[in-house]
Homo-oligomer: A and B are copies of this chain.
Amino acid sequence: MSGQSDEPADDVVPTTQLSFLREAIDAADARAFVHVGDRFDDAMRYLTRFSGPDRAYAFVYIPADSQEPADTVDRAVLCAPRLFCEQAEREFVTAPEDIDSVDRSIRSDAAGEPAGVRAVDALDAVGVTSGSVLVPQHIPHDAAVYLQQAGYELRSTHAVAEQRAVKTDAELDRLQMVQTAAAAGMARAERVLAEGAATDTGLRWGGDRLTTERLRREINAELAAHGVTDAGNTVIGAGESAADLHFTGDVAIDPGETVLIDISPRGPQGYYGDLTRTFVVDGDGGWERRAYVAVESALNIAFGELAPGINAASVHAEAAAELAAYGFPAAEEGEAGFTHGTGHGVGVGLHEAPGLTADTELQPGHVVTIEPGVYDPDRGGVRLEDLVVITDDGAERLATYPRSIVPVADRFLD
């Protein structure tokens, strides 16, 4: 049918080079790797690229020399749930690096068979009937019990999280696409704020009082128009609620108060963006402006620190020191000051390695947020956040977005 004469989008679909699992299995003297999870499990998404259903399915990796008899290629098996085999065939594709060494296959299940049982079947099928099996520590307990009852000894591994931290070019392309969509959402929010009229009864726009929920809907509609989903993550606070780190309620926006907008959409291949700006309409230059100047300076300091070989925690320490120098010291949640870490890794998870408070070395391909912020429960909050990739000699933003405490109606984006 001519409907299938695709006009393909020029998307770069990331694949996962799986042979890192062979190394992890060898290093632990194990025989295979197993994970079980549903579509919301980011590790499963990374390993399989399958955006499957909201019930558990299994992934199994068996190196060539673990198989009995030994094979010449490793086996990567996706135990696809019933009704999802066509989707699995489309999405569980071989990475170019794996073509000669890893054979991918899909096993379809009998209805109602637990994913853990299916993982055991997949191991059995290549002669792995005992020995150690690596699993992520958050594998569902029932799946772990099925594996143990079948005679395997489980050992937990962080190999998947470590591999995820370093992005390929195709992954960077996707992250950039989503971050660019986030920037478009921010531009729409900034335009609404710039168009808002300060009145005796608060900020008005389009004939109504402007509220955080109204702003959120405008942003999320823009994200949708760019082909990404808001993923329920658009956090907007105004005034006191801007000091509440995860405020998603509906409050009216007034002139003079901080409007903190944190946008973290997810793209069709699962990658997230993460962008925060703070605006004040008709401000009077008091606490808000001092906080803004401090946060902007901390952001610049943190960005300047980012480079391969740098200890991640030192980036947070520099940002915190800068904020403290401006009179905004580190503080606990709900107190006045800088109440959180300076950044976190972003990929198919919104929060993944490396965190910028971790004692770990930054590497080229790490993608992190830098997002200093200061909060005062009686006044509001200011946070600025960019998404950055570590390069061979420094760092680059994945999308640029201007910074201004005064909202501007027409942003010309990259």
Judge whether B55 and A351 touch: CB under 8 Å: yes
Judge whether B86 and A334 touch: CB under 8 Å: yes
Q: Which residue of B lies closest to A41 (CB)?
A: B40
Judge whether B209 and A7 touch: CB under 8 Å: yes
Q: Which residue of B lies closest to A3 (CB)?
A: B239
Find A86's partner among B245, B378, B379 (CB 8 Å cutoff). Answer: B245
Q: Sample 17 A-B pairs with CB under 8 A, ordered by A number.
A: A1-B240, A1-B380, A7-B209, A7-B211, A42-B54, A53-B351, A83-B246, A86-B245, A86-B334, A137-B141, A141-B144, A142-B156, A217-B227, A224-B230, A229-B229, A229-B232, A232-B268
A139 contacts B by Cβ under 8 Å: yes
Find A245's partner among B83, B144, B224, B266 (CB 8 Å cutoff). Answer: B83
A314 contacts B by Cβ under 8 Å: no
Chain A interface residues (CB < 8 Å from chain B)? 1-9, 40-42, 51, 53-56, 82-87, 90, 135, 137-144, 154, 156, 202, 209, 211, 213, 216-217, 219-227, 229-232, 238-241, 244-254, 257, 266, 268, 333-334, 339-340, 349-351, 378-380
Rounded to whole angstroms, the CA-CA distance of A154 and B140 in the bound complex is 14
Judge whether B8 and A250 touch: CB under 8 Å: yes
Contacts of A257 in B (CB 8 A): 1-3
Contacts of A380 in B (CB 8 A): 1, 3
Interface centre among A4, A90, A135, A240 (most CB of B within 10 A): A4
Contacts of A240 in B (CB 8 A): 1, 3-4
Find A54's partner among B84, B253, B351 (CB 8 Å cutoff). Answer: B351
Chain A interface secondary structure, helix, strand, loop or mixed?
Answer: loop
Contacts of A87 in B (CB 8 A): 244-247
Given A86-B245, A232-B51, answer yes or no on A252-B3 (Cβ-Cβ < 8 Å): yes
Judge whether B334 and A85 touch: CB under 8 Å: yes
Q: Which residue of B lies closest to A202 (CB)?
A: B2
Judge whether A252 and B1 touch: CB under 8 Å: no
Contacts of A137 in B (CB 8 A): 140-142
Judge whether B241 and A268 touch: CB under 8 Å: no
Q: Which residue of B lies closest to A377 (CB)?
A: B86
Given A84-B246, A140-B138, A245-B83, answer yes or no on A251-B3 (Cβ-Cβ < 8 Å): yes
Q: How far is the CB of A59 from chain B (nearest CB, A)?
A: 15
Rounded to whole angstroms, the CA-CA distance of A75 and B54 in the bound complex is 31
Contacts of A230 in B (CB 8 A): 224, 229
Q: Which residue of B lies closest to A378 (CB)?
A: B1
Given A224-B217, A257-B1, answer yes or no on A138-B202 (Cβ-Cβ < 8 Å): no
Rounded to whole angstroms, the CA-CA distance of A194 and B6 in the bound complex is 22
Contacts of A55 in B (CB 8 A): 351
Judge whether B54 and A349 touch: CB under 8 Å: yes
Q: Which residue of B lies closest to A85 (CB)?
A: B333
Find A241's partner among B3, B220, B244, B351 (CB 8 Å cutoff). Answer: B3
Rounded to whole angstroms, the CA-CA distance of A340 and B84 in the bound complex is 11
Given A220-B229, A334-B85, answer yes or no on A4-B351 (Cβ-Cβ < 8 Å): no
Judge whether A340 and B83 touch: CB under 8 Å: yes
Contacts of A227 in B (CB 8 A): 213, 216-217
Q: Which residue of B lies closest to A143 (CB)?
A: B141
Q: How far is the CB of A92 from chain B (nearest CB, A)?
A: 13
Given A137-B141, A349-B54, answer yes or no on A7-B250 (Cβ-Cβ < 8 Å): yes
Given A139-B140, A209-B7, answer yes or no on A2-B254 (Cβ-Cβ < 8 Å): yes
Contacts of A247 in B (CB 8 A): 87
Rounded to whole angstroms, the CA-CA distance of A340 and B111 in the bound complex is 11
Q: How far is the CB of A127 from chain B (nearest CB, A)?
A: 25
Interface centre among A140, A226, A380 (most CB of B within 10 A): A140
Given A220-B224, A333-B85, answer yes or no on A239-B141 (Cβ-Cβ < 8 Å): no
Contacts of A250 in B (CB 8 A): 6-9
Contacts of A83 in B (CB 8 A): 245-246, 333, 339-340
